[in-house]
Structure 1
Amino acid sequence: MNLKSLLLAGSTLLVSTAASAGGFQVTLAGQKNNGMGGVGVGLSLDQAAMFYNPGALAMVRERGVQVGINATMARSAFRAEYGGSQRELRNSTVTPFNLYAGLGPSEGKFRAGIAVYTPFGSKLQYADGWEGRYSLTDITLESVFVQPTVSYAITDKLSIGAGLVILAYGSVNLQRDVPVQDQQGNTGHVELDGTADHKIGYNAGIYYKPSDKLSIGASYRSQIDAHVKSSNGDVSFSNIPASLSSRFTAKHFDVTLPLPATASLGIGVTPTEKLTIGLDANYVFWSKYKSLNFTFDGPVGGATTSNSRREYKDAVTLRLGGQYQLTSGLTVRAGGSFDFSPVKDGFVTPETPDADRLGLNLGASYKFGEHFGIDISGQFINLKKRTQTQAELASNGTTDRVAGTYKTRIVIPGVGLNYTF
């Protein structure tokens, strides 16, 4: 048995394949931003600036509270290299959410706030009997990040801000089949269930508005290493024949996954009082993710360690979007993005069948009176068809994954409520 393939799915600790960014990064943090292709670094739209650029928060004139939720609905298919029927994932929906509260004196230079969001999370359930079932059958991931933030306007044109990024909660459940059968003919199965340690990083930014028609922003979100230590990571087996039980005795696992740093630049243009356009470029330092290493407290298929190569490369996402105020209460939005995948050829895994992706976005807001408003958004994401061959896997030393072709399309509706004061 190839131990590497046993826990291939572990590379998805706190990750997402059904979201709006490459690799396992997600940017569904603000409902208004979601309708504009995910732009926000060079804008000061609302309290979601805490995520996109903390430096812009001080330039948000209104204090407020907002909450939003999205539903990522992916349709993914796989066809093995040497033919056979097309395999599709069983239907699943993930619901990342966001919550922001921004406070400060109405005419002052100081703003503070708290942000709660879910930038990593996924649920994948491959079809029964699919060719990669010995690598992955099911995965469920959950995470919650909390970010207390402060921002200060040095002048009426320049502001800075920073926040602590706290991994407050993270959990993962991974399952796959084992190529053995018990006396009743049931296929062996392994399940990993773990909770990540609390970790702290930071998010900092600067925002400059030289004129009423132009704004510029830059931000940097630090890397956080998500760590499941052995006391919080459980391993369980089922349908293992008694004759092989001594090779499957592990009870716990230990693993660390880098959640990469991101540097972003953004420009905002306001040609007229009613029209706002944003352009963002995100640079993600994926190259820190070289390999995934597991340690077990007992044998898993006869071994107590596992190493699986990842060799990700740094990648860029480009975003463009805008909004137009149709009436005093109604604002409409549109945008798009192009995300270059960090996954090299021959390194695609079943839990992250990533590829270059094109996103198209629409959104709208309606304000009820002076204080209450509703934001809606919709996204369509098309991942380029991605094929890897057995020859590529053998050449790269990555035969712990599956040769074939992956294709994914994603629809993400979202809705949010906001209150300003």
Structure 2
Amino acid sequence: MKFKSLLLVGGALLTGTAASAGGYQVTLAGQKNNGMGGVGVGLSLDQAAMFYNPGALAMVKERGVQLGVNGTIARQAFRAENGSTQRELQNTTTTPFNLYAGFGPTEGKFRAGIAVYTPFGNKLQYADGWEGRFALTQIDLKAIYVQPTFSYAVTENLSVGAGLMVLALGSVNLQRDVPSQDSEGKFGSIELDGKAKNKLGFNAGVFFKPSEKLSLGISYRSKIDAQVEDGDVTFTGLSNTAAASFQATKFNATLPLPATTSIGIGIMPNEKLTIGLDVNFVEWSAYRTLRFDFDKPISDSKTGLPTTFSESKRNYDDALTFRIGGQYQVTSGLTVRAGGTYDNSPVKDGFLTPETPDADRITGTLGASYKFGEKFSVDLSTQFVNLKKRTITQQDLLNNGTTDRVAGTYKTQVVVPGIGLNYTF
């Protein structure tokens, strides 16, 4: 087994094709917002303001508790360069969730709350025997934040807020085949499994509503570096020759969970119609390289010398996402929603990987809410995500020094249904 092959595994460790945003970001933090193209920075819809703009929480009229869950159903196809067979991802479903609880005096100027959400993560599982099986067969990445939040209305029109973001749970499990066959002709495999250390960041925002028909917001979520220490490296089914070359049992790695700056506008032409427009700026340029440190030396396939670390190029670009959405109150109990998103990929040409086959994406969304009485309501949402077809050639890999990847063409589509339950008091 070659060191370059393990480097491919390392590249897969902490990345993935997220369902609803570029890179490995997930933006499914509020069910109402999901149905409106993900807008929310310039609006004060409900308790999910803790994620989109903590400054808007003080302007939310009702206190309450809400729980939401989404199912990301992905279909991905791959065709190797000069290949005739199209490989398809095995059906995978992930369930990013969100939980919010907001409190405060009915007529008071402040609101406090707690938010739990999943801003990064992904799950991929390629078909058996695909051309890139020595780079990746499957990956499962999770990052869960817990955010205590406080928001204060400085005036009737202006409010501010902030939350302490805690990376409460980060985990990764990935697997791939090894180009080493046993006596029965079966390939060996590698599994990497690790948990990230708890880390802190912050989420802050300002909300301004100069009139009943217009609102403005700006928010900033800070970067958190997810650090995996003493992750487990497990080899199975290796020949004796291959096993002798790899003695590592532990690894360390760090992945930036990037900062995001967002601005938003809310327009309310009348009491029934609300329109939102958001722009998100994600500082993906923090992700330049991915380095792995191993507990024991392994042999470098290029030099034949022992080494205890590796680095793989990423060179991500900062990226913008543009969102638009609206909701209309049909009756006192029924509200319908629709929206759309255009998301620029941070992955440069020549740097595409099997674990991040990302591309510019267009998303269409639909949603609805129905109230049962004064206190209970249900939110439904669906997103239809289409990533542009994207190709990386062997020449691209040679030009960029990224030959630790697989040349070919990727095409991905994702459907994301969601449901949320709300109780107000």
TM-score (norm 2): 0.97
Determine the structure 1 residue equivalent to 2:304. none
Does residue 411 in structure 1 map to residue 415 in structure 2?
A: yes
Preserved CA contact (<8 Å) 1:383 1:408: yes
CA distance in 2, matches of 1:5, 1:46: 47
Determine the structure 2 residue equivalent to 1:245. 243
Preserved CA contact (<8 Å) 1:320 1:335: yes
Shift of 1:5: 3.7
Does residue 402 in structure 1 map to residue 400 in structure 2?
A: no
Shift of 1:143: 2.4
CA distance in 1, matches of 2:210, 2:11: 44
Rate the CA distance shift 1:283–1:2 in 2: closer, same or farther, 3 A: farther
**Aligned amino acid, residue 3 of structure 1:** F
Determine the structure 2 residue equivalent to 1:31. 31
Rate the CA distance shift 1:210–1:11 in 2: closer, same or farther, 3 A: farther
CA distance in 2, matches of 1:71, 1:404: 28
The equivalences for 1:319-398 within 5 A come to: 319-398=323-402
CA distance in 1, matches of 2:421, 2:96: 15
Which residue of the other structure, out of 261, 268, 273, is the alignment partner of 1:263? 261
Shift of 1:2: 5.0
Shift of 1:120: 1.8
Preserved CA contact (<8 Å) 1:53 1:206: yes
SS in 2 for 1:304: strand
- Note the alpha carbon deviations across 1:297-337, whole angstroms, 9 max, x for none: 12445542111000000000000000000000000000000
The equivalences for 1:71-220 within 5 A come to: 71-220=71-220
**Aligned amino acid, residue 402 of structure 1:** V
CA distance in 2, matches of 1:154, 1:255: 43
Per mean C-alpha deviation after superposition, the further-off stretch among 177-186 and 54-63 is 177-186
CA distance in 1, matches of 2:389, 2:252: 34
SS in 2 for 1:120: strand
Shift of 1:140: 1.2
Q: How many pairs does the alignment contain?
A: 419
Rate the CA distance shift 1:334–1:72 in 2: closer, same or farther, 3 A: same
Determine the structure 1 residue equivalent to 2:272. 274
Shift of 1:246: 2.1
SS in 2 for 1:384: strand
Determine the structure 2 residue equivalent to 1:294. 292
Shift of 1:179: 1.1
Rate the CA distance shift 1:299–1:188 in 2: closer, same or farther, 3 A: farther
**Aligned amino acid, residue 200 of structure 2:** I
Aligned sequence identity (%): 70
Rate the CA distance shift 1:393–1:322 in 2: closer, same or farther, 3 A: same
SS in 2 for 1:402: coil
CA distance in 2, matches of 1:167, 1:275: 36
SS in 1 for 2:119: coil
Preserved CA contact (<8 Å) 1:16 1:120: no
Shift of 1:192: 0.3
Give the superposed CA RMSD.
1.2
Shift of 1:144: 1.6
- Note the alpha carbon deviations across 1:223-250, whole angstroms, 9 max, x for none: 00000012xx000101211123221111
Per mean C-alpha deviation after superposition, the further-off stretch among 185-194 and 331-340 is 185-194
- Note the alpha carbon deviations across 1:201-239, whole angstroms, 9 max, x for none: 000000000100000000000000000012xx0001012
Structure 1 segments of 4 or more deviating over 3 A? Answer: 9-16, 299-303
The equivalences for 1:34-73 within 5 A come to: 34-73=34-73
Rate the CA distance shift 1:258–1:18 in 2: closer, same or farther, 3 A: closer
Preserved CA contact (<8 Å) 1:298 1:304: yes
**Aligned amino acid, residue 94 of structure 2:** V
SS in 2 for 1:82: coil
Preserved CA contact (<8 Å) 1:290 1:312: yes
Does residue 312 in structure 1 map to residue 316 in structure 2?
A: yes
Rate the CA distance shift 1:171–1:420 in 2: closer, same or farther, 3 A: same
Shift of 1:121: 2.1
- Note the alpha carbon deviations across 1:250-275, whole angstroms, 9 max, x for none: 11000000010000000000001100
SS in 1 for 2:410: strand
CA distance in 2, matches of 1:359, 1:57: 27
CA distance in 2, matches of 1:170, 1:104: 31
Shift of 1:31: 0.3
Preserved CA contact (<8 Å) 1:341 1:356: yes
Structure 2 residues without counterparts, runs of 5 or longer: 301-306
Per mean C-alpha deviation after superposition, the further-off stretch among 264-273 and 82-91 is 82-91
Determine the structure 1 residue equivalent to 2:303. none
